[in-house]
Structure 1
Amino acid sequence: MKFGKYISSVSQEWATHYYINYKGLKKIISSHEVSLPGDESNKTAFFYRLERELEKVNTFYLQKEVEFKLRLETLNKKKQKAKERNTLENIKEAFLQFQLDLAKLQKFVQLNATGFRKILKKWDKRAKSSTKEIYLSRQIEVQPCFNTEVLTDLADQCASTLIELDKLLETSLESTNSKHLLRHALSEIQPILTHQHHLELKEWLKKDYNLDKEFYSKCFLSFCTETSIECLLVLLEYGVDLNLTDDISDATCLHELAIEGKLEIIKLVVERGGDINAVDVYGRTPLHYSCLYGHDEVTLFLLSKGANVNAIDRDENSPLINAIIGGHTKCAYTLIEQGASIEPVTPNGSIPLSIACQYGHLEIVDLLLSKNVSLLTDLDGLDPLHIACREGKDVITKRLIDFKSDIEKKDSFYGWSAVFFAAQEGHLECIRILLDAGCDISTKDQEGWLPWTYALYRGHVKVAALLKVKQDVIMEEVKTKPLAPSEVFLGEPMNLDKVGDLDIEDIPSLSLPPPIIPLRIYGHHYLDNKVMVQIQIGEYGGCCRKEPVNLFGSRQLSSLRLKITCKPEVDLALFANLPLKDAITPFNWTVDDLSLISFEFDIYPAFGTKAIGRASCTNTQLLSILKTSRDGIQGKEIIVSIFDSHLKVIGDFCFSASIIKPFNHPSLLIGGKIETYWKSTTVVSNPNPKTSTEPIHSLITASSLAEEYVELVVQSTKDGQLVVYPHSYVLVNGLNIPLNFLDFQQAKSLFEQSNPPKLFTASGNPSDLASSIYQSFMTFEQVLKVSLFLIQRLPTSIGVSVILKYPSQDQLDIGLDMNLFVDSILQIVYDHSNQRSIIFSSFNQSLCTIMNWKQPNYGVFFRTYCGFQNDSSIKEAVKFCKKCDLLGMICFAQPFVTISNAG
């Protein structure tokens, strides 16, 4: 995900309008390329806007810093005074909430720091300047908001206090066992109020406990949502303060009652002087909560008593925004009828219609449109139609179009109309509605891409079919927007203005000449007698839950830092930020002896030096993977407990561990008997001169591979024999039996029953030769030994493509495990290989990875349908190949066929 889109998505969670306006700054940079030489207006505009953004971020941070310091000081004072167990538990909850809120501020600082650094780098690339480092050091890093020491100190204080509170709670006595008068009184009155016995409460209150007004007020606040109105009336006779606030949340009883929707008790409290506009620690009034939880009768009553209909909380949300977020149409209608603004209440406030489109609340959208709401653009440059198409809300999209929303209006930053948003996310129905409305599908964005291009790139083939444009438009895109400019290799001066923003951050910030790039790179990294251990977290490989860290109770933080250390230390510790933004590359360690290593997982707040807890994985657990996991590299899921400093279990950590063992063979040498494939960066011209009078130059990866291949699908039977057979099943009397459920002799016998033997014929055609091999049901070794003379008769330009086929997840209990499967194939290849080009490929990502790590001589390709049959998109396939250093991918994808036939 691009950083601009990521920061926009994150900012919706908290402090929405105070993040750096990354898209706006990027737009100023984009306009720089069209300015006249010597024109300084864009530079002035950029740095003026940049300084205003810096002031906005810093001002918000300073306000929050003061707020958090005061909040921590208040909590520490309350902790010092606390004696009872109940109070300690409440204070612990308050510190946990403080920790959660502090993590939001830490994430705010971190993302803004990244935003300023990235946008300055973009400016330097576009303006051909070198201001990034000096501006960062003199203007950015000196600001208080980017001094992490303050936040780290607050985080450490909070973590230390939580440890201290846990220790106090372990040694403290339950309040029912205390002889203290107040605690004894509380223990007696609690069950009476909980069971709503108002007559028993009257009798109890007649006891001479000498209790003060504060005691009764706290009882009222604590039990107002649990007990009956009769009990509360009894308490009111003893002088209850109805505006008493909670020690943690600053909420009054009206806040609590509004959350639960207790209308009759709310009426009682308001009649007795309760403040209906009181605000809690988040700046919310009771009306905010009644709307958030959809209590329309409570909402109407509060408004009738003078509640501020447009009150703004600290997130700049009004009660109407809360009602929209919750999808409470009746509350929204009541608010609007009572004068709530259907437009943003503040300049940076949320737009009600946009929020309704984002959450997909059709009835509220209809309500707002019936009031002739304005179709405003938000701070991200999106109008309601853009948002509805991005979220896939097809019915809302139709409503907005009927309301005369402009279907060709482009967003302020990328030049996207509504069809781009629907195409990228693959929302088929939205596309159909836009097409029926006559949207222009031949329009291009600032990168020169069509909606069709984004749909194909993301793997949304059905959407792309609807968005297909004339071939001359497609070829114009290909002609004018090469994927990789090649001026570096043409010996001509490189014009940076032609380089798109897609790759601009990959250009190194150097004033020195670029390093010399070798013409050829031989082979790739491989294990070479070492064992690789991979630790995978998140959903990589589909074997773990989405979030690896689960802290019990209310300890879950919105932002954490994970440190992974291998013991004994074979490398530096590795870190990951949680929660995960996306699937990440596995953490790899290469070790000499698997039996000696173990792993430690330390959990930290995003900022802070005191660990929340530690989990460990011993070498015994790792070795068990080899015994119990049959799929090798896909790994085995392991869940270990997280302990705090007092060895108390506070959560668990989920990960998967995979082990790749090395393959050994005398020919496994770089520069040895088996020639290592090579790859190089080569300049090629346009192969289709009809499309342009000018040659198109681009960078491609060339290699020593053959131009044509005999494709051999190799898989394993139950007894571990490798056979060359294209299907996963053997057909017997109309029944498909999985091949790995049968041993070789059984499978061969059943195959010959359904397929009479045919004469094995030599052919110069690779397809015919492969077909003859498949009809003979031969082992892989037989093919390379017996049929080698036939393959040798083929032209040297024809190689052998070995397609690795492995059982599905529910069939893994039978057959070879993945390490042994790959080792067996490589043993045969190295035993019977010659100088003919051989490549490996598979639809299985794990097989591709393990094959690549076990040897350096042969290229490995990932096969994918790219959008067909629920396979990954082109984008995801490219990312995987790049992560695992594969030579490339083999695609069965319509977009390439379409483009190749365009001329």
Structure 2
Amino acid sequence: MTALRIDASLGDPLGEMNLYRAAQDGHENAVRAILDSTADCQDLLNLAETVNGWTPLFIACINGHLTTVKLLLKAGTEQGMCDLAGWTEKEHAVYRGHMKVAETLAAHEAGDYRDPASTSVLRTGMVRPGKLLKCALHSQTRTSSRLIPPEMTPTCCWTQDDNSHILVTLGPSNTRSDLEPVEIFERSSDNIFSMNYETTFGVMIKAGDTNSIPAHCIELPMPGNLINKPFHFAVGDSDNVNLVFEIFRKVYRSDESSQVIGTGIALLKSLGQGLAPNHESLIRDFTVPILENGSMIYIGSVTFSVLVVTLFRPPNASLRASPGFWKKDGSTQIVGHRGSGANSTARTNLQIGENTVQSFLTASSLGASCVEFDVQLTKDCFPVIFHDFLIMETGGDVPLHTLTFDQFMHLSRCQAPRGDLLSSAEVRYLERNKVNGSLRPKRRSHSVNTYDDYRSQDLVERMRFTDEGMQNNIKGNLRGHSIQERSSTLEQLLTQLAESITFNLEIKYSMLWEAQDRGMELYAMELNFFVDTILATIFRLCGNRNITLSSFSPEICILLTCKQQTFPILFINKAGSVPTGDVRAGSLQGAIEFAKAWILAEIVMLSDAFVMCPRLLTYSYAKDIGLVVGSYGNLNDEPDCALVSVFIVGNSQSRSTQSDPLFLPIQAEAGLDAIMTNKVRLISETLARAKS
């Protein structure tokens, strides 16, 4: 292009110039060539298309092209402008989960907008007001300050009945997979692939061989990602259902009906075979071959994911609906993370021991509106309170769901203040201090002393070759590092803690990408069995307690909202902090669309997103559709970051001139509904002082 001396600023009537299109697709060489061939590229860099008001930097940030963003910043593109909806480039990047891009933008502007006392670019969340775009054309303006919510009908719209529900999504749910939803090859023995502009192909999906269950059809190519729009089949017995995929050909303006050219069948029961009872693979994507009707020639394949929701009958169906821990007066609620805080090797505060009864009582007494804790199942189906998927105290990376309840509690008892068993370190301590081996050193039940340091050292040595131990990342959940009680069960918490203490139960279930990244086995307990066991305990023992259920797993949230309507559901999201394998789990945008599709009550995002771009609390339309919004993460332990998330000081500035006809007021008045923190007292007092 540059060799032919084509004007790099040429574009279409909507103002999409060649540089814009290269940045949109992440073509780094093309971007570099255009910039090198343009004598004065400043006007070109800051020229925006007219539909959304996006410059090349905007579109590169939106699509997550990090290298292209760096090229444009190095070339001198202006940063911090607002598009026609009032959004900045950084807000678009954070909203879509491109945190590396957002951090690059924050670092680039840090010289002008970072607090000199700060060492973190995450504290640069305020927006420069009053910056307007120079658009290629001024024929179209828009002054909306929010993104327009996508039209989306709630997916969970069926009534509870005695049926099981099969949810089928075309295409892989794992975004790390490169499989196409439908692949068709021209290998036919007939001329079935001859087509003109009026010929289309499509897929018909059936559950079973009868016509009693309605089929679903979709034309090809598919309209984007359908992860939040699965095809729904209500069946009596899901074990005996076959999924039938028919590829059809249709010619418009023709008297011919749709012609089925190939068929594939998936036996639903066989998809989960090969594992122990009540267990299943974490891989939920399957591919079936499509065989041509008649000749049986292989002509393609269909890849799909499937989720089965079985009936749950609560043991106490007369329970009143739980209102959730948030209040209607607009005040921000403090949630104690794992009680009074997660265990840490840092010695900056007293650690009671995460997920223990004493920790929950402490958090409640310090002002927490709610205590959060993690629930998992042992091998013999006891709900226990524990955060990590892997039990390192065994000396290896052992998944919790492979241990029985007695085995799990035995490990916990060895760490408790009055353990019954002697470790090798204890034996050395007793011999050194000439103490009778049948007696324990007399000490206060929850004190930490030299004796406990020996036990802690013994456990650290035992975990030396675990995955966390090899990375020097063993957290302080050991005697000698925190005041650690024995691990608790869900039944203990529901029966021993006062009903006035509100619970947020995070249901821990490993997702495929988590298991892959941690080197875990790619199987777990069967989802319905797992959820039903925990729900049965909650319904049986909760009484009048206010309870909210939450999970990082989209599948767990779907099952929870389909099986019961008594307790509100929270979806927790990584906000792009780590590369996930699920489009729903990796961004604020994905969380909002997922929560709306499944009628969830709240989304809880990693606090980095809101600290970096606090206006997203209002600009992302989450509250417009009735969602409660909360945050979690280490930044919520820092008072100034918590205040940024809750009280956002902003202003609006207008500027109207002949050269800049667009009036884009910037408003920043928003607040989180809930903050999950490890330092309940510090953050509670900080927010109270700020309000007064």
Determine the structure 1 residue equivalent to 2:321.
675
Pairing of 1:510-549 with structure 2 (within 5 A): 527-541=160-174, 546-549=179-182
The correspondence for 2:20, drawn from 381, 386, 395, is 386
What pairs with 1:405-554 in structure 2 (closer than 5 Å)? 405=41, 406-468=44-106, 474=127, 502-503=147-148, 527-541=160-174, 546-554=179-187
State yes or no: 1:661 paired with 2:310: yes
Query: Partners in 1 of 2:149 and 2:377 — Cα distance?
Result: 46
Does structure 2 retain, via aligned residues, the 8 Å contact 1:867–1:893? no
- For the residues of structure 1 that align with 2:242 and 2:261, how far apart are their CA atoms? 17
Code of the residue aligned with 1:448 in structure 2: it is G
| RMSD across aligned positions (CA) | 4.2
Match of 1:897 among 581, 587, 611: 611
Among candidates 244, 247, 272, match of residue 603 of structure 1:
247
Distance 1:774 1:848 in 2: 31
Q: Please list the CA deviations of residues 502-524 of structure 1 after superposition, one character each: whole Å capped at 9, or x if unmatched.
A: 4388599xxxxxxxxxxxx9x98
**1:407 shift after superposition:** 1.5
Distance in 2, matches of 1:595 and 1:731, equals 37
Q: d(CA) in 2 for partners of 1:605 and 1:716?
A: 48
Shift in alpha-carbon separation, 1:869–1:760, aligned structure 2, 3 A: farther
2:414 is aligned, of 740, 745, 753, to 753
Matched, 1:867 2:501: no
Partner of 2:374: 713
Partner of 1:327: none
Aligned residue number for residue 562 of structure 1: 203
Hey, what does 1:882 align to over in structure 2?
596
SS in 2 for 1:561: strand
1:741 matches 2:386: no
1:826 aligns with 2:535: yes
Partners of 1:507 and 1:822 in 2: how far apart?
27
> What runs of 5+ residues in structure 1 fail to find an aligned partner?
1-352, 354-364, 479-495, 509-520, 688-705, 762-767
Does residue 613 in structure 1 map to residue 261 in structure 2?
yes
Summarize the alignment of residues 38-437 of structure 1 with structure 2, pairs less than 5 Å apart.
353=1, 365=2, 367-368=3-4, 371=5, 375-378=9-12, 381-402=15-36, 403=38, 404-405=40-41, 406-437=44-75
DSSP-derived class of the 1:575 partner = strand
In the TM superposition, 1:26-41 aligns within 5 A as none
**Distance in 2 separating the partners of 1:455 and 1:638:** 33
From 288, 293, 299, the equivalent of 1:644 is 293
| SS in structure 1 of the partner of residue 206 of structure 2 | strand
CA displacement at 1:884 relative to structure 2: 2.4
* Per-residue Cα deviation, 1:837-892 (whole angstroms, up to 9, x for no partner): 21111111111111221111111121111110114121122222222222221111
Unaligned runs of 5+ in 2: 114-123, 132-140, 334-366, 420-443, 447-476, 581-585, 615-642, 650-692
Could you say if the C-alpha distance between residues 747 and 594 of structure 1 is closer, same or farther in structure 2, counting changes exceeding 3 Å? Answer: closer
1:397 partner letter: V
Could you say if the C-alpha distance between residues 428 and 528 of structure 1 is closer, same or farther in structure 2, counting changes exceeding 3 Å? Answer: same
Q: Which amino acid aligns with 2:206?
A: T
Aligned partners of 1:623 and 1:686: how far apart in 2? Answer: 47
| Matched residues, number | 469
Q: Percent identity?
A: 23
Greater Cα offset, 852-861 or 724-733: 724-733
1:538 deviation in Å? 0.3
SS of 2:493's partner is helix
Relative to structure 1, is the Cα distance of residues 457 and 760 closer, same or farther in structure 2, using a 3 angstrom cutoff? farther
Aligned equivalents of 2:416, 2:295: Cα separation in 1: 69
Deviation at 1:801, TM superposition (A): 0.8
1: CA distance, partners of 2:399 / 2:301: 38
Matched residue type, 1:750? L
Kept after mapping to 2: 8 A contact 1:561/1:575: yes
Specify the SS of the correspondent of 2:259. Answer: coil
SS of residue matched to 1:880:
helix
In the alignment, residue 503 of structure 1 is paired with which amino acid? I
> Cα distance, 1:431 vs. partner?
2.5
Q: What whole-Å deviation, never above 9, does each CA across 1:64-88 have from its counterpart, x for those lacking one?
A: xxxxxxxxxxxxxxxxxxxxxxxxx
Question: Against the structure 1 CA distance between its residues 564 and 500, is the aligned structure 2 distance closer, same or farther, given a 3 Å change threshold?
Answer: farther
Does the C-alpha gap of structure 1 residues 633 and 575 become closer, same or farther in structure 2, counting only changes over 3 Å?
farther
Give secondary structure in 1 for the equivalent of 2:127. Answer: helix
Say if 1:604 and 1:449 are closer, same or farther in 2 by CA, change over 3 A: same
Counterpart residue number, 1:784: 494
The reply to whether residue 730 of structure 1 matches residue 391 of structure 2 is yes
1:551/1:651 contact within 8 Å kept: yes
Of stretches 452-461 and 394-403 in structure 1, the one that deviates more from structure 2 is: 394-403
Q: Which has the higher strand share?
A: 2
Structure 2 counterpart of 1:183: none
Q: 1:632 to 1:821 in 2, by over 3 A?
A: farther
Q: Tell me if the contact between 2:61 and 2:89 (Cα under 8 Å) persists in the aligned partners.
A: yes
Does the residue aligned with 2:244 lie in a helix, a strand or coil? strand
In the alignment, structure 1 residue 856 sits paired with structure 2 residue 517: no
Letter in 2 for 1:534: L
Give the Cα separation in 1 of the matches to 2:32 and 2:178.
37
Distance 1:527 1:628, change over 3 A: farther
CA contact (8 A) 1:535 1:656 kept: yes
Change (3 A) 1:679 1:569: farther
Give the deviation of 1:604 after TM superposition. 2.1
Q: Could you say if the C-alpha distance between residues 826 and 474 of structure 1 is closer, same or farther in structure 2, counting changes exceeding 3 Å?
A: same
Structure 1 residues 729 and 649 mapped into 2: Cα distance closer, same or farther (>3 Å)?
A: closer
Instruction: Identify the residue that residue 578 of structure 1 maps to in structure 2.
Output: 220
2:507 is matched with which residue?
A: 804
Alignment deviations for residues 620-670 of structure 1 (CA, whole Å, 9 cap, x no partner)? x223346557348964625154332565554443334332211112423xx
Secondary structure of the 2:45 match is coil
Deviation at 1:425, TM superposition (A): 1.9
8 Å Cα contact 1:549/1:651 also seen in 2: yes
Q: Which residue of the partner structure matches residue 840 of structure 1?
A: 549
The SS at the match of 2:234 is: strand
Alpha-carbon offset, residue 552 of structure 1:
3.7
Distance change in 2, residues 1:583/1:633 (3 Å): farther
Q: Please state how far the C-alpha of 1:375 moved relative to its aligned partner.
A: 3.6
Provide, for residues 589-638 of structure 1, a one-character-per-residue CA deviation record: whole Å limited to 9, x for no partner: 122334665443332236453324242547xx223346557348964625
Q: Which whole-Å CA distance do the structure 2 matches of 1:861 and 1:664 have between them?
A: 22
Q: Is the 8 A contact 1:760 1:776 kept in 2?
A: no
Separation (CA, whole Å) in 1 of partners of 2:24 and 2:161 = 48
**Structure 2 CA distance for aligned equivalents of residues 547 and 372 of structure 1:** 37
Q: CA deviation at 1:543?
A: 9.8
Q: Is the 8 A contact 1:538 1:545 kept in 2?
A: no
Do the aligned partners of 1:862 and 1:888 also contact (CA within 8 Å) in 2? yes
- How big is each residue's C-alpha offset from its partner over 1:280-304, in whole Å with a ceiling of 9 and x where there is no partner? xxxxxxxxxxxxxxxxxxxxxxxxx
Q: Hey, what's the Cα distance between the residues in 2 that align with 1:559 and 1:857?
A: 46
CA 1:649/1:869 → structure 2, altered by over 3 Å: closer, same or farther? closer
SS of alignment partner, residue 306 of structure 2: strand
Does the 8 Å contact 1:717/1:741 carry over to 2?
yes
The 3 A distance-change label for structure 1 pair 858 and 632 is farther
Q: Larger % of helix: which?
A: 1
Amino acid at match of 1:401: L
Q: CA deviation at 1:742?
A: 2.4
- C-alpha displacement at 1:772, in angstroms? 9.9
